[in-house]
Amino acid sequence: MDLKPGLSVRIVTELDATKERIRVKSSTIYDVEGQTAILAQTDPPVLRSMLSRNIVVTYLFRKNEVMVRHGFPARILEFMDYSLSSGRTVKALKVEKTGEAGPYSIRMSYRVAPTTHSKLSVTICGTPVNVIDISLGGARFSYDKSLRLQEDEVLGVRVEMDGSAYELQGRLLRTWNGMSEGLSHDLRFASMEFVKMDKSIERALSQKLQDIERESLRREMRF
């Protein structure tokens, strides 16, 4: 593997429900030996239920003066305690590469988490919601219980990006309350699939996702 200890990586965990196709967690490579690598446990952690499950390990490298992201499929072999050269023991994952590396696409399924500086906001049925993450395929968000949402209903969605507003529709896939996340019962969460998105909205959202991803990469490279 063309990987080195100390390299920052992102672990991509596949999901199989409600269009939440991937979840991305940041990590660091501790060690590489042949087709196996030791990765730092993430925060929040990769769960032990993922043992023997498939993931994707992605990383950045410079190609023609441009930073690009590649990824390769891997399998989690072990959850372990790993001793650093300093003598400190840390939680880690041992993974095995199961396929060739190649360019990793952020399109459709890749969700980015906007920050307060991203100039992106979402309104559902006239009520602002807090976007947790968003992709071309949909979004996850939190909202106050005063906004009554039902699974499978199609709702009007307003997405504002860089001062411009775009109207589209979204189908509600799932809702859950804050108690399941260890938060207030008054806070609720939902996942939504975007439907009936025209090309102009898709282009604008795709560009904004890339902008947010680039900013995230710049923050990552500073560490």
On whether both 20 and 81 belong to a single domain, the answer is yes
On whether both 145 and 84 belong to a single domain, the answer is no
On whether both 96 and 130 belong to a single domain, the answer is no
CA distance 159 to 147: 17
Tokens of 121: 């906001």
On whether both 87 and 139 belong to a single domain, the answer is no
pLDDT band at 221; cut points 50, 70, 90: low
Beta bridge partners of 28: 8
pLDDT surpassing 70 at residue 71: yes
CA distance 34 to 19: 35
On whether both 76 and 133 belong to a single domain, the answer is no
On whether both 39 and 88 belong to a single domain, the answer is yes
Q: Classify residue 119 as exposed, middle or buried by CB count within 10 Å of its CB (0-12, 13-18, 19+).
A: middle
**What letter represents residue 197's amino acid?**
M
pLDDT the model gives residue 122: 96
CATH code where residue 175 lies: 2.40.10.430
Which of 54, 70, 104 corresponds to the end of one domain? 104
Residue 177 lies in a domain: yes
pLDDT the model gives residue 12: 83
pLDDT the model gives residue 158: 95
Residue 3 lies in a domain: no
Encode pLDDT of 107-120 as tens digits. 545 678 898 889 99
Q: Domain residues for 34?
A: 8-104
Neighbours of 43 (CB within 10 A): 10
On whether both 169 and 128 belong to a single domain, the answer is yes
pLDDT the model gives residue 17: 40
On whether both 94 and 148 belong to a single domain, the answer is no
Please state, for a pLDDT cut of 70, what percent of the chain lies above it. 84
Beta bridge partners of 157: 124, 168
Contacts of residue 91, Cβ cutoff 8 Å, sequence gap at least 6: 40, 41, 45, 79, 80, 81, 82
pLDDT the model gives residue 106: 45
pLDDT band at 23; cut points 50, 70, 90: confident
On whether both 125 and 90 belong to a single domain, the answer is no
Domain count, the chain: 2
Q: Per-residue pLDDT averaged across 71-89, rounded? A: 94
Residue 200 lies in a domain: yes
pLDDT the model gives residue 211: 87
Q: pTM for the complete prediction? A: 0.52
| Eight-state DSSP code of residue 215 | H
Neighbours of 62 (CB within 10 A): 8
Tokens of 203: 């282009």
Which of 74, 104, 134 corresponds to the end of one domain? 104
pLDDT surpassing 70 at residue 143: yes
Helices (H), the chain: 199-221
3 versus 216: the higher-pLDDT residue is 3
Which residue has tokens 């969460």?
A: 189
Q: Which of 57, 59, 93 shows the shortest CA–CA distance to 72?
A: 57
On whether both 94 and 177 belong to a single domain, the answer is no
CB distance 38 to 92 below 8 Å: yes
pLDDT the model gives residue 113: 86
146 versus 34: the higher-pLDDT residue is 34
Which of 69, 104, 139 corresponds to the end of one domain? 104
Q: Which of 115, 130, 135 shows the shortest CA–CA distance to 12?
A: 135
pLDDT the model gives residue 1: 55
pLDDT surpassing 70 at residue 105: no
Residue 110 lies in a domain: no
